[in-house]
Amino acid sequence: EPHRETILLVEDEPGIRGLVRKILRRERYQVLEAGSGEEALGVLSSHGESIHLLLTDILLPGMSGRDLAEFLLRTRPALKVVYISGYTGDESNRAGEFPADAKFLQKPFTLGALTGKVRQALD
């Protein structure tokens, strides 16, 4: 079976990052990972391959997930983005902060929610 798309996973909690990586790899995605926005930029510069989806926590040390996404979208307009959020506030509170079509994965999330949201974003 051919590999599916490449996902850049940016999450500063190693436990969550490891779990998400495992789930995505089991779904046959290629997974690149970083613990911060700055680290993600380093991973990108050393990986020439195209990245189809950025899966990033909103709250990261240093550069926020949103800033990272906006930076990447300038040079990769086709990039899909899914934000992982620990916020409990409903999405309408953030409507002004994010693009209308921004996709959110609410923590804590189920395995099905993760794989479903990723697939929905990529399709």
| Ramachandran region, residue 27 (left: φ > 0; alpha: ψ -120 to 50; beta: rest) | alpha
Mean residue pLDDT of the chain comes to 88
Stated pTM of the model? 0.89
Q: Kindly state the percentage of the chain with pLDDT values over 90.
A: 69
Q: Compute how many other C-beta atoms are within 10 angstroms of the C-beta atom of residue 20.
A: 24
Confidence of residue 21 (pLDDT cuts 50, 70, 90): very high
Instruction: Say how far apart CA 10 and CA 12 lie, in whole Å.
Output: 7
C-alpha distances in Å from residue 40, one per residue of 19, 73, 110, 122:
18, 14, 25, 20
Instruction: Say how far apart CA 106 and CA 19 lie, in whole Å.
Output: 15
